[in-house]
């Protein structure tokens, strides 16, 4: 078929001259759009402007790549009739397209964005070329990371050609679909929405063994350093579907703890949490003694943590690993399903390892750099039958100095920090929840109950079952108390401070019970700070 032709039209010009030169050295001809062609010429690359094959430009060169000539060269089939027609028209067959799109998402999120500025940055020619090239089964590069892979593939003699090109073409169609979703969401004011993802990790099955196949899909264009696909397994087997669910929940908890402490106390503490079925069963924080943090965390609920997952915001060394598996175990090694941390020392990996890789050790250095800005602001989608629900993410952070927050009685500095920890845990546990904390340690988490007093009773029971003395503890309730029986139960257990919301017709009765028992009470309006999660 003679010399092959590549069409290059990119928004981000970094590295494009080197890529074009690599193609030329392998016998390819280069076509390029106006801006890309100028950059290539400055880089000493022999290039033909695509405008040369489409006739007289119209609308100020804005629709050159939308011409029938370009798309004929992309959609022609490898038949003698199509080849003859291209020859009569003086058009080359375009065998490769390298296109990246205008950064529409950045244009939309720009604080100075206007309707006209977003429309101006909405690419039309790029998505159209990608879609035509994919339909025409051309080599399509829509991601700069794929350029070298294509060069390597060409040098290898184009093995598994159909499969290789299909993957590139499918990626291009997905990129176009995601781009169009961004555009339609903006132009419709949020009336249309959706999600396009790429398979990041295959899981053997979902929540149950009969729910297969399953997998973690990464959102296209995702640049969040805490996105789940940015976490790396350093030892043990690949994470399961349930592991990923727990990892997402732990991230919500540790980022809320971080945000609460930075907002209210100007602190960025070191944090350790443990979860079972997504809900916290151990948590603690400290500024210096990391071993103490871990020992307090694992003793929160020694029964529930069995087979659970742990996350720390500090590296795991040998001493910490020893505490994770041996502290408060009465000589029996604690079995964990996984540990997530910024990094692991080799000796720690050896201590934590289990047979058949059953303890996954997962690292992400971004965990060691959390701030209040680490909260996930991405819209939450939840599949339901026939569609999906959409809501903003859980980004509310309690501010105890907010004038809308009512204080009845006073709390000590230690109680304040305990309440912040309880708030962060309770507001990222399945509602309804009441959470007990004492001396910077989670001691009881009463989650997922249908009535508020049941949450209180469960939290107290779990604390006592784990061997904790509830005298002097603090409590957080993720919504208001509809009756004073909840605060009564907490006060009778020795709780000295309660953080909850207001809005119940029984608020006055709740205040009276707390005052009668000498319990300090902090109330945030329910409409402002109700903490329902994972409903």
CA distance 483 to 510: 7
CA distance 300 to 295: 9
> Could you give the angle at the alpha carbon of 158 between the alpha carbons of 75 and 47, nearest 5°?
55
Q: Are 351 and 322 in contact (CB under 8 A)?
A: yes
DSSP run (H or E) holding 312: strand 309-312
Give 317's Cβ-side CA count (13 Å radius): 4
First to last CA, the chain: 61
All structural domains of the chain? 5-187 (3.40.50.1380), 235-374 (3.40.140.20), 398-529 (3.40.140.20)
Per-residue pLDDT of the chain (535 residues; tens, 9 = 90+): 468 999 999 998 999 999 999 999 999 999 998 889 999 999 999 999 888 888 776 776 677 778 888 999 999 998 889 989 999 998 999 999 999 988 888 888 888 888 888 888 888 889 999 999 999 999 999 999 999 999 999 999 999 999 999 999 999 999 999 999 888 888 888 899 998 999 999 999 999 999 999 999 999 888 899 999 999 999 999 999 999 999 999 999 999 999 999 999 999 999 999 999 999 999 999 878 999 999 999 999 999 999 999 999 999 999 999 999 998 888 889 999 999 999 999 999 999 999 888 999 999 999 999 999 999 999 999 999 999 999 999 999 999 999 999 999 999 999 999 999 999 999 999 999 999 999 999 999 999 999 999 999 999 999 999 999 999 999 999 999 999 999 999 999 999 999 999 999 999 999 999 999 999 999 999 999 999 999 8
For residues 460 and 438, give the distance between their C-alpha atoms in angstroms, rounded to a whole number.
12
Cα 314 from Cα 481, distance rounded (Å): 37
Q: Global pTM?
A: 0.91
What's 396's DSSP letter? -
Among 20, 27, 21, smallest CA distance to 3 is for 27
Q: Name residues whose C-beta falls within 8 Å of residue 151's C-beta, 6 or more positions apart in sequence.
A: 19, 22, 23, 26
Provide the pLDDT for residue 61: 66
Alpha carbon distance 20, 32 (integer Å): 10
Is residue 234 within 8 Å of residue 342, measured between CB atoms? no
State the pLDDT at residue 116.
87
Taking alpha carbons only, the member of 297, 285, 352 closest to residue 328 is 297
């Amino acid at each position: 078929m003679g010399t092959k032709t590549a069409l290059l039209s990119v928004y981000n010009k970094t590295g494009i001259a080197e890529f074009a030169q690599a193609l030329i050295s392998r016998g390819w001809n280069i076509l390029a759009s106006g801006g890309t062609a100028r950059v290539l010429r400055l880089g000493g690359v022999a290039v033909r402007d695509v405008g040369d094959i489409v006739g007289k430009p119209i609308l100020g060169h804005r629709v050159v790549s939308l011409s029938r000539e370009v798309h004929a060269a992309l959609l022609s089939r490898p038949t003698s009739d199509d080849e003859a027609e291209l020859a009569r028209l003086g058009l080359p067959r375009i065998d490769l397209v390298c296109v990246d799109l205008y950064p529409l998402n950045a244009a939309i999120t720009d604080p100075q964005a206007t309707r006209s500025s977003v429309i101006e940055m909405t690419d039309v020619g790029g998505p159209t070329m990608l879609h035509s090239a994919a339909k025409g089964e051309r080599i399509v590069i829509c991601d700069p990371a794929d350029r070298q892979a294509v060069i390597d593939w060409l040098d290898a003699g184009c093995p598994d050609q159909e499969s290789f090109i299909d993957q590139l073409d499918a990626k291009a169609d997905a990129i176009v679909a995601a781009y169009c979703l961004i555009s339609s969401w903006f132009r419709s004011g949020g009336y249309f929405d959706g999600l396009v993802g790429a398979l990041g990790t295959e899981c053997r099955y979902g929540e149950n063994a009969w729910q297969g196949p399953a997998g973690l899909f990464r959102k296209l264009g995702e640049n969040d350093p805490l996105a789940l696909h940015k976490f790396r397994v350093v030892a043990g087997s690949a994470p399961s579907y349930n592991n990923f669910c727990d990892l997402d929940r732990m991230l919500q908890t540790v980022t809320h703890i971080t945000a609460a402490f930075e907002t209210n106390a100007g602190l960025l503490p070191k944090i350790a949490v443990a979860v079972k079925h997504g809900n916290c069963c151990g948590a603690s924080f400290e500024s210096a003694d990391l071993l103490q943090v871990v020992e307090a965390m694992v003793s929160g609920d020694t029964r529930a943590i069995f087979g659970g997952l742990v996350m720390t915001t500090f590296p795991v060394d040998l001493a910490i690993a020893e505490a994770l598996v041996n502290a408060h175990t009465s000589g029996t090694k604690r079995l964990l399903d996984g540990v997530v941390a910024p990094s692991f020392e080799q000796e720690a990996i050896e201590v934590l390892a289990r047979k058949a890789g059953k303890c996954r050790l997962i690292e992400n250095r971004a965990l060691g750099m959390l701030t209040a800005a680490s909260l996930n602001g991405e819209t939450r989608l939840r599949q339901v039958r026939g569609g999906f629900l959409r809501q903003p993410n859980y980004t509310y952070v309690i501010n105890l100095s907010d004038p809308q927050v009512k204080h009845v009685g006073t709390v000590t500095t230690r109680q304040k920090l305990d309440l912040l920890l309880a708030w962060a845990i309770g507001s990222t546990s399945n509602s309804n929840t009441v959470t007990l904390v004492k001396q910077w340690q989670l001691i009881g988490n009463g989650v997922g109950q249908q009535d508020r007093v049941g949450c209180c009773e469960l939290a107290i029971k779990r604390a006592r079952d784990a061997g904790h003395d509830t005298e002097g503890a603090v409590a957080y309730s993720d919504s208001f108390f509809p009756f004073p029986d909840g605060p009564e139960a907490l006060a009778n257990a020795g709780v000295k401070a309660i953080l909850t919301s207001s809005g119940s017709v029984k608020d006055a009765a709740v205040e009276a019970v707390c005052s009668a028992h000498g319990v300090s009470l902090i109330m945030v309006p329910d409409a402002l700070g109700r903490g329902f999660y994972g409903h």
